[in-house]
């Protein structure tokens, strides 16, 4: 017997910063750190420049980690008998959970926005 699929969707994390935006953020961070770090270096406080370089490296690493996590996805499928949650990690590892639909309570919430302002009867 084939179960009827009532709902199925693919969920992915949203990342609003584009690759070009990331380049501009990094350029701005480097410029700001050089603007502060070079005068400190010239005044003899040379370790400040190294710590500021570490700051830029950490910012770069955190953004790369965020972009890696953005490749994560989750599929939800609701059938007559079960809710199937299928998770795929960035490295391709797959994890699947099957939950009995008998215990599930689902509610549809309409979006309250002028763009989506519809009359639901």
pLDDT in tens, 10-45: 988 888 888 899 999 999 999 999 999 999 999 999
Best CA proximity match to 56, nearest among 21, 31, 20: 31
Instruction: Give yes or no for a contact between 38 and 49, defined as CB atoms under 8 angstroms apart.
Output: yes
DSSP assignment of 63-104, as one string?
A: HHHHHHHTT-EEEEEEESSEEEEEEE-TT--EEEEEEEGGG-
Average pLDDT, the chain: 85
pLDDT for 111 equals 53
CA distance 4 to 113: 32
> Does the pLDDT value for residue 121 go beyond 50?
no
């Amino acid at each position: 017997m084939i179960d009827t699929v009532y709902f199925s969707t693919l969920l992915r994390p949203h990342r609003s910063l584009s690759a070009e935006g990331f380049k501009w953020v990094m350029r701005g961070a480097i410029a700001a750190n050089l603007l502060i770090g070079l005068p400190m270096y010239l005044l003899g406080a040379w370790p400040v420049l190294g710590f500021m370089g570490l700051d830029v490296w950490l910012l770069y690493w955190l953004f790369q980690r965020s972009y890696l996590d953005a490749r994560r996805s989750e599929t939800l499928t609701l059938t007559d008998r079960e809710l199937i949650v299928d998770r795929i990690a960035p490295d391709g590892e797959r994890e699947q959970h099957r939950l009995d639909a008998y215990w599930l309570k689902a509610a549809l919430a309409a979006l309250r926005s002028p763009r989506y302002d519809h009359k639901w009867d």
